[in-house]
Chain A
Amino acid sequence: MTTLEVKHLVKDFRLQGGRGKKFRAVDDVSFTLEPGKTIALVGESGSGKSTIARMIAKLETPSSGEILLDGHVSATHGRKLAGYRHDVQMVFQDPFASLNPFHTIQHHLERPLRLHGRVKTQAEADAETERLLERVSLTPAAAYASRSPHELSGGQRQRVAIARALAPGARFLVADEPVSMLDVSIRLSVLNLLARLQREDNLGVLYITHDLATARHFSDEIIVLFKGKIVERGPSDDVIMNPQHEYTKLLLGAAPNPENHGRLRAEVLAEMAGGPQDAGRDRFGTRGM
């Protein structure tokens, strides 16, 4: 079976200024990534979604819990880790920070190719780099390969980051807010690109975001996180159209929706006419929705 399974992941951080005080960023999270399917991890800041991404990318070690690739517990170092990295890759949120300003695009794509033995000679490396750039619609590829990151726009840099993630021949991709720092009109083209690549390579994708709308359209399953715990999960359309948990309803209600034009004003007017001003805070820490 080809899956990337996350089982009962927990991550604790030591807090500064307190002996042994711990902060639990991720609390017993489990899910399974399958080829050709996308799972969206939705949550606000502090929900633990980025920590989960980093644990899957082996940038952090879980305090407890397991990450299983194809049924086997994945390694944390050595040759087995290299094998894991061959199959599991990550696209970062900030397209500028994730590319080294000192090196060319060619360098960024060639390193993973060489590290995972996909190419042996320089000629092969050049050819494969161009092929990757063409796959992410950065053509003419030769022109892009010799550029430095600062010569590219945000959307172009993110395409390079995606190409780099695909270079080792990955089967599973963790996309950590891949479009939230891009200009609005570029976002969909990059998401469409990810969708196409997923179809072509039958990738299993973990799409991390705070944006429910793109989560719904881009993924098969949505998992809602709050303070490190999973509060709701299910098929995307179900979770969005028929939310069960209060927090999910809160998130959905808070998302800007043009269909609700005028509703906020009406609510505010009604509140001012009747009722007291100080609604108490609900258990999610907000001041009355």
Chain B
Amino acid sequence: MADDIREQQLAAQASGGALSPVEIIDETPVSLTDGPVVKVGALRRFGQLLRRSPKLTIGLVVIVAIVLFTVIVPFFTESPTALDNASLLRPGEDGHLLGTTQLGADVLSQLAHGGRSSLLIGLTAGLITLVLSVIFGVIGGYLGGWVDETLFLISSVMLVIPGLPLMIVISSYIPGRSIWLIAVILGVTSWAGSALVLRSQARSLRTRDYVAASRVAGERPTRIILVEIMPNLLPLFAGQFLFAVVAAILGEAGLSYLGLGPTGGVTWGTMLNEAQTGAALTRGAWWWFIPPGLLIAFLGGALSLVNFSIDEIINPKLRAGSIAAKNTRDAKKRKKKVDQ
């Protein structure tokens, strides 16, 4: 295993006397014998988490609401491709709560069914991105040497190739595209950035003493990667995954808008595409394109909120900052009350 990072540290130490400060670790006396060991259940801990972080709560509520919408509503509407000739391009009315498209399809139904497809594509593409970035990032990052060099080269090349044009090129070659194919295309073109982030984190983690201690104990590299390093990357995985899902949903919307999305299916992106070809904007048919646009925006925003809250949860400094601010606010409030 390449020791290049360690070499750099030692060489730097030697050539300039750059010393790392020896901090004394706080010796808070921990008495483990008083009181019973109360193991807080996972559910309760989750509840505590929600209370602590409004961002997480809001984000999760919006995501759950949208998911429920796409799961439940399709049971109550007709097919998204059913055309009602009696009602063309009409705003909300009986039987068509959100109005109809220019061909007579029910907007609400399209929104709900399309939501399912969009979400599925987003999730699948996100998963593919995650798996690929873990393979190209974590494995290379930990092993170093020529394995790392090769994987890094591939990742760098993929990063430089512009995503959207690549997707367009691939999409336009294949006449019949299912939502799964779109998901694969999206996933395969957007893992590189994530891979580099994971790689640099893995490189940093491999110099940790607990990884060295595992090696000294006799662990093999595979186990070290899976058991010692990856668990510490979980928050990063979650963040990268959510980010990938947002990108995939937006990417699918973009592809579909260009007419290169799933053929025959309905997604929020295809709705926007049809609205555009049907000149919905000039005709003032706001009920056609605003709902899908809004839902894309809300979902993207909610996923990002959850991402931020994960950042705060794993980075105690960020959390301490907001807690300190809150404490100062509370202290000021209390002082005001006393002074009144």
Interface residues, chain A, CB within 8 Å of chain B? 13-16, 23, 25, 45-46, 51, 54, 57-60, 81-82, 85-86, 89-90, 92-103, 111-112, 115-116, 140, 143-144, 146-147, 151-156, 161, 164, 167-168, 180-186
Question: Would you give the shortest CB distance from B4 to chain A, in whole angstroms?
Answer: 9
Q: Which of B245-267 contact A (CB under 8 A)?
A: none
B215 is an interface residue with CB less than 8 A from chain A: yes
Contact A99 B218, beta carbon cutoff 8 Å: no
Bound CA span A181–B23, Å: 6
Write out, one digit per residue, whether chain B residues 207-224 have a CB within 8 A of any chain A CB (1) or not (0). 011101111111100000
Chain A hits for B217, CB < 8 A: 85, 89, 111-112, 115, 164, 167-168
Q: Per a CB cutoff under 8 Å, which of B14, B37, B214 touches A46?
A: B14
A100, B218: Cβ atoms closer than 8 Å: no
Chain A residue numbers with a CB within 8 Å of B336 are none
Least Cβ–Cβ distance between B255 and chain A, in angstroms: 39
Q: A85-B218, A146-B37 are in contact. Are A100 and B210 (CB under 8 A)?
A: yes
Whether the Cβ atoms of B216 and A143 lie closer than 8 Å is no
| A153 and B37 alpha carbons, distance in the complex (Å) | 17
How extensive is the interface on chain B, given as a class? 35 or more
Q: Does B27 contact A (CB under 8 A)?
A: yes
Q: Judge whether B29 and A153 touch: CB under 8 Å.
A: yes
Other-chain contact of A153, B6, B28, B212 (Cβ < 8 Å): B28
Collect the chain A residues with CB atoms within 8 Å of residue B11's CB. Answer: 13-16, 23
Name the one of A14, A59, A116, A184 contacting B7, with C-beta atoms under 8 angstroms: A14
Output the nearest chain B residue to A144 by Cβ-Cβ distance.
B32
User: Shortest distance in angstroms between A99's beta carbon and chain B's nearest beta carbon?
Assistant: 6
Q: How far is the CB of B32 from chain A (nearest CB, A)?
A: 4
- A95 contacts B25, C-beta separation under 8 Å: yes
Bound complex: CA of A185 vs CA of B28, how far in Å?
A: 12
Residues of B within 8 A of A98 (CB): 209-210, 212-213
Q: Does B86 contact A (CB under 8 A)?
A: no
What mask results when residues 49 to 86 of chain B are scored 1 for a CB within 8 Å of chain A, else 0? 00000000000000000000000000000000000000
Given contacts A23-B14, A99-B213, 18 further A-B contacts (CB under 8 A): A14-B7, A16-B11, A51-B10, A57-B212, A58-B215, A85-B217, A89-B217, A90-B213, A98-B213, A102-B232, A112-B218, A153-B28, A153-B29, A154-B24, A167-B217, A181-B22, A181-B24, A185-B27
Q: Which of B3, B15, B210, B216 has the most CB of A within 10 A?
A: B216
Q: Which residues of B contact A46 (CB under 8 A)?
A: 13-14, 17
Q: Are the CB atoms of B212 and A92 closer together than 8 Å?
A: yes
Chain A residues whose C-beta falls within 8 Å of the C-beta of B231 in the assembled complex: 100, 102-103
Q: Chain A residues with Cβ under 8 A from B26's Cβ?
A: 153-154, 183
27 contacts between A and B (CB under 8 A): A14-B7, A46-B13, A57-B216, A58-B216, A59-B216, A89-B216, A89-B217, A97-B209, A97-B210, A99-B213, A100-B210, A102-B228, A102-B232, A103-B228, A111-B217, A112-B217, A112-B218, A115-B219, A140-B33, A144-B32, A153-B26, A154-B25, A161-B213, A164-B217, A181-B24, A181-B25, A183-B26
A60: B residues at CB distance < 8 A: 3, 6
Collect the chain A residues with CB atoms within 8 Å of residue B8's CB. 16
Interchain CB contact (< 8 A) of A82 among B3, B19, B25, B218: B218
B217 nearest CB neighbor, chain A only: A112
Residues of B within 8 Å of A152, CB to CB, are 30
- Closest A residue to B32 by CB, please name it: A143
- The CA of A137 and the CA of B8, in the complex, are separated in Å by 39
Give the docked Cα–Cα distance between A153 and B28 (Å). 6
Check A25 against B27 for contact (C-beta < 8 Å): no
**Highest count of chain A CB atoms <10 Å: which of B37, B217, B232:** B217
Interface core residue of B8, B30, B32, B219 (most chain A CB under 10 Å): B32
CA distance A186 to B24 in the complex (A): 11
> Are A90 and B13 in contact (CB-based, < 8 A)?
no
With the chains together, A185 CA to B216 CA distance in Å? 29
Q: Do B210 and A99 have beta carbons less than 8 Å apart?
A: yes
Chain A residue at minimal CB-CB distance from B30: A153
Cα of A38 to Cα of B10 in the assembled complex, Å: 26
Bound CA span A181–B28, Å: 14
B22: chain A residues at CB < 8 Å are: 180-181
Among B103-152, those with CB < 8 Å from A are none
Closest to A24 in B: B14
Q: Which of A82, A94, A186 has the most CB of B within 10 A?
A: A94
Bound Cα distance from A15 to B15, whole angstroms: 9
In the complex, what residue of chain A is closest to B33 when comparing beta carbons? A140
Give the complex CA separation of A103 and B208 in angstroms. 15
Contact B27 A182 (CB under 8 A): yes
In the complex, are the beta carbons of A100 and B232 less than 8 A apart?
A: yes
Contacts of A99 in B (CB 8 A): 210, 213
Instruction: For residue A5, give the distance in angstroms from its CB to the closest CB of chain B.
Output: 19
- Chain B residue nearest in CB terms to A84: B218
- Closest A-B pairs by Cβ, 6 of them: A154-B25, A183-B27, A97-B209, A98-B209, A112-B217, A102-B231
Question: Of all chain A residues, which has the CB nearest B205?
Answer: A100
CA distance A68 to B220 in the complex (A): 23
Q: Which residue of the partner chain A has the closest CB to B12?
A: A16
A85 proximity list for chain B (CB < 8 A): 216-218
A16 contacts which chain B residues (CB < 8 A)? 8, 11
**A86–B219 Cα gap in the complex (Å)?**
12
CA distance A115 to B23 in the complex (A): 33
